[in-house]
Amino acid sequence: MKGNDNLLLISDGNNNKGTDLGDVMMLASSLNTTISSLSINPIKTDLVVTIDGPSELIFGTETLLYVDVKQTGPISQDYNIQVMIDDDIVIDEKATGTKTFEINQMLQAGYHKIEASITANDYFKQNNVYYKTLHVLPKPKILFISQKDAKITSILDAVYDVSKKSYMPKDLEPYSAVVLYNINEGLLKANTDILSNYAADGNGLVVIGGQDSFDYGNYENSMFETILPVKVGLAGREEESGMNIIVIIDVSGTTCSVFGAGSTNTKIDVEKAVATQIVGGLRPGDKIGVISFDFNSHLISPLSVIDEKPDLNYTISTINCGGYNAGTLVSAGLIRAEQMLRSEKGSKNIVLVSDGITQYPQNAIARAKSMVSQGIKTYAVGVGFDTNRQFMQDLALTGQGIYFEPTEAQRLNIIFSREPEEDKADMMGLLILDSNHFITKNLDLSAKVTGFNQVVPKSSARMLIATHNTNPIVTVWRFGLGRVAALTTDPEVWAGQLLNKENSKIITRTVNWAIGNPSRNNKFDVKLKDSRVGDSAEIIVISETNPVLEGLSFSKIDKNVYKAGFVPKTTGFHDFFGAVMAVNYKREYEDLGINPELIDIVSITNGRIFNKDNTTEIIKFIKENSRRKKIDKISYSWIFILTALSIFLIEACIRRIMENRKSI
């Protein structure tokens, strides 16, 4: 790309290394380059098998794995799939076409080798076998402190090595996490420093509510409250000085495409529906502003009280996609929103509605991070089958907001609601607000509660689960190097349904999250990640002495931490000090078919997808698109310079003549 040119790219667009395709879009837009491509389809049928799931689990936790078989090509292919965990066959059946197989098992502590293979008459054989390792960690040791015998310990005993006490011991080092159940602040006052240092050093703390904790336990304005992700208060009334929301709508070229397979709506249609839904959920007196963006930002409606905007929904409905400059910059929309919110008082919120396909995503994430210091939270709603979910999730996480799928957008209204729960309600349903967190991901929640502690999340905390009127139930945050979670209901008195098999995952997942890395205090440990043939892998060893292993050279990178590089040459399982690494085929054999991002590049740069046989249309398009406007700038500044010089010389001559006359 040299500028003002047309490129015809013949490729499937699957880019495995090097420059990101988003950066290519940015460069093409800045150089006024048009990228077109050919409509090409695979002429051979191929099947690809992969395994998705965790790499580490704590003993007692269910192992949930997904084996995906994807097919590309013209013919629907029959195949036999076999999945083995260690030496046991867990799946052995016949299937056809693209399909996902689910595995749910309980595994013993240690390393487990998982192998999925398909037998089929397809083109590539390299991608017919996939390897994965799963390290099941032994039961972590946790400390459970309560003033009474608690039923909840029967759930914890199944997963952890639980020490039960009614007091706080002076030495917490042996424990990966401390769980406090319904403890009054008076019993914690003398030990707050111990708990604070314990959490800040990288350990976990879980505080469970009840009639002797939080608002009932004198936590308000105490030193112990500073450790928690919540503070005592009435939910929904923390921001009494006002609610300010900026909705940012993506109008770049990619939002003109269909929302998903079989849908008649475009992405922009769904975006406008989401924006209208947000408007409908606001209260009188709330302020809202709307902007759109592509390569630049565009003001649709200034930030003002919603009562003064009776036609806002109509204004939103008139927004069109692809009508501005080529290219997409989420950061441009964030910058405009920040300017609008900067001087406002009260709650400051940004809601980005986009497919997340953008140039320079790191700039957007950096902007969201910088806005946190100004009290601005960034929420994100993904729109479209090809949404860049990882970017949108990272953006929301960095901006201390939440990422939502389009079907979850109504949860924004719950977050922005400021009406307290009716205390008279006998049973209150629970709602997962953030489904992308470790605690809540793929969680099927059916529990109801009859009561809760009155708390509000702190500004840098993440509220994961709440009642339908935003009373927090599970809230988390990082405290120093550690993790602190608040479960602000009593599982035995107000929330007995949390003790049944399915809903009890809330409790165990919360404790698991707080524990984080249960092996962090081990004197010898090995950290590995599964890799691919030809890719550079790292082997991290925690040891008091320099580890020695044939073929590897370790260097010290921290106290008792050593690292060595390893480039695998064969697929399969590789052993290092008893730890196991899985090595798979090269990624180029996994990403088959046309990459949707390639289609986005073509759209954004005003290119087209051509039929490979229609050369006449290709030539015609390139000729028409090559007629660029050329602007010749002619400068007339020399006239002014000459005039000024003439005036100066005339003035100098007159002054000299006058001086000569005076001397005579």
Write the pLDDT tens digit of every residue in 437-449: 999 988 888 899 9
Q: Answer yes or no: is pLDDT of 324 > 50.
A: no
First to last CA, the chain: 74
Which value, in Å, is the radius of gyration of the alpha carbons in the chain?
31
Write the pLDDT tens digit of every residue in 12-70: 888 877 777 766 776 777 778 888 888 888 889 999 999 999 998 888 777 889 999 99
Mean pLDDT for the stretch of residues 114-135? 95
Confidence of residue 624 (pLDDT cuts 50, 70, 90): confident
What would the two tokens of residue 362 be?
């790191």
Confidence of residue 452 (pLDDT cuts 50, 70, 90): very high
Task: Give the range among 121-135, 195-209, 319-333 with minimum mean pLDDT.
Answer: 319-333
Mean pLDDT for the stretch of residues 359-375? 90
Q: Answer yes or no: is pLDDT of 482 > 90.
A: yes
Write the pLDDT tens digit of every residue in 173-192: 899 999 999 999 999 999 99
Q: Answer yes or no: is pLDDT of 331 > 70.
A: yes
Could you give the CA distance from residue 132 to residue 135 in angstroms, rounded to a whole number?
10
The H or E element containing residue 563 is strand 561-566
Tokens 């500004």 belong to: 459
The closest alpha carbon to 410, from 264, 273, 269, belongs to 273
What would the two tokens of residue 654 be?
């007159």
Which are the contacts of 227, defined by CB distance < 8 A and separation ≥ 6?
Answer: 192, 195, 196, 199, 205, 479, 484
Asked if 97 and 77 touch (Cβ cutoff 8 Å), the reply is yes
Confidence of residue 255 (pLDDT cuts 50, 70, 90): confident
Q: Answer yes or no: is pLDDT of 387 > 70.
A: yes
Could you give the CA distance from residue 79 to residue 141 in angstroms, rounded to a whole number?
45
Confidence of residue 423 (pLDDT cuts 50, 70, 90): very low
- Rounded to 5 degrees, φ, ψ at 83 are -125, 130
Q: Is 141-234+431-515 CATH 2.170.120.12?
A: no
**Residue 421: predicted pLDDT:** 45
Confidence of residue 646 (pLDDT cuts 50, 70, 90): confident
HEC string of 215-282? HHCCCCCCCHHHHCCEEECCCCCCCCCCEEEEEEEECCHHHHCECCCCCCCEHHHHHHHHHHHHHHCC
Q: Provide the residue ranges of all domains of the chain, joining segments of one domain with +.
A: 141-234+431-515, 243-415
**Residue 27: predicted pLDDT:** 75
Could you give the CA distance from residue 364 to residue 633 in angstroms, rounded to a whole number?
36
Mean pLDDT for the stretch of residues 221-240? 80
Assess whether the region 141-234+431-515 and the region 243-415 belong to the same CATH fold. yes
The identity of residue 635, as a single letter, is S
Confidence of residue 238 (pLDDT cuts 50, 70, 90): very low
**Residue 57: predicted pLDDT:** 85
Write the pLDDT tens digit of every residue in 84-111: 999 999 999 999 989 999 999 889 989 9
What would the two tokens of residue 447 be?
């529990």
Confidence of residue 358 (pLDDT cuts 50, 70, 90): confident
Asked if 26 and 70 touch (Cβ cutoff 8 Å), the reply is no
297-305 and 287-293 strand pairing: antiparallel
Confidence of residue 576 (pLDDT cuts 50, 70, 90): very high
Residue 515 vs residue 608, higher pLDDT: 515
Confidence of residue 628 (pLDDT cuts 50, 70, 90): low
Residue 61 vs residue 484, higher pLDDT: 484
Could you give the CA distance from residue 157 to residue 177 in angstroms, rounded to a whole number?
14
Please state, for a pLDDT cut of 90, what percent of the chain lies above it.
50
The identity of residue 138, as a single letter, is P
Average pLDDT value over all residues in the chain: 87
Q: Is 243-415 CATH 3.40.640.10?
A: no
Strand ranges, E, within 156-224: 161-165, 177-181, 204-208
What would the two tokens of residue 272 be?
């406008």
pTM of the model: 0.68
Q: Answer yes or no: is pLDDT of 301 > 80.
A: yes
Could you give the CA distance from residue 485 to residue 181 in angstroms, rounded to a whole number?
12
**Residue 262: predicted pLDDT:** 66
The H or E element containing residue 192 is helix 192-200
